[in-house]
Amino acid sequence: MDARTNGEVAPTGNVTTVERRSDREVVVTRSFDAPVHLVFEAWSKPELFARWWVPRSMGMTLTSCEMDVRTGGRYRLGFDGVDFYGTYVEVTPPSRIVWTNEEGGTDGSVTTVTFTETDDTTLVVVSERYPSAEALDAEEGGATDAMHETFRQLDELLVELRSNR
Strand ranges across the sheet with 96-100: 17-22, 25-32, 121-129, 110-118, 96-100, 83-92, 74-78, 64-67
Q: Is the dihedral of CA 32, 33, 38, 42 positive or negative?
A: negative
d(C-alpha 114, C-alpha 94), whole Å: 9
Nearer to another protein, 98 or 153 (CB): 153
Sorted by sequence, the CB contacts under 8 Å of residue 45 that are 6+ apart come out as 69
Rounded Cα distance between 107 and 151, Å, is: 12
Q: Does 82 bind another protein (CB under 8 A)?
A: no
The contact pattern for another protein, residues 116-145, with x = CB under 8 A and - = no contact, is --------x-x--------------x--xx
Does the protein bind another protein through residue 62 (CB under 8 A)?
no
Regarding 154 and contact with another protein (CB under 8 A), the answer is yes
CA quadruple 80, 82, 62, 86: dihedral, nearest 10: 160
Candidates 14-22, 62-70, 78-86, 90-98; binding stretch for another protein (CB under 8 A): 14-22
**Nearest distance in Å: CB 19, another protein:** 7
Our finding on whether 70 is near another protein (CB under 8 A) is no
Q: Is 148 in the site for another protein (CB under 8 A)?
A: yes
| 19 scored as a contact of another protein (CB under 8 A) | yes
CA distance 111 to 12: 25
Rule CB under 8 A: is residue 41 a binding residue for another protein? yes
In angstroms, rounded to a whole number, what is the distance separating the alpha carbons of residues 119 and 20?
28
Binding site for another protein (CB under 8 A): 1-2, 4-8, 10-12, 14, 16, 18-23, 26, 28, 30, 32-34, 38-39, 41-42, 48, 51-58, 124, 126, 141, 144-145, 147-148, 151-152, 154-156, 158-159, 161
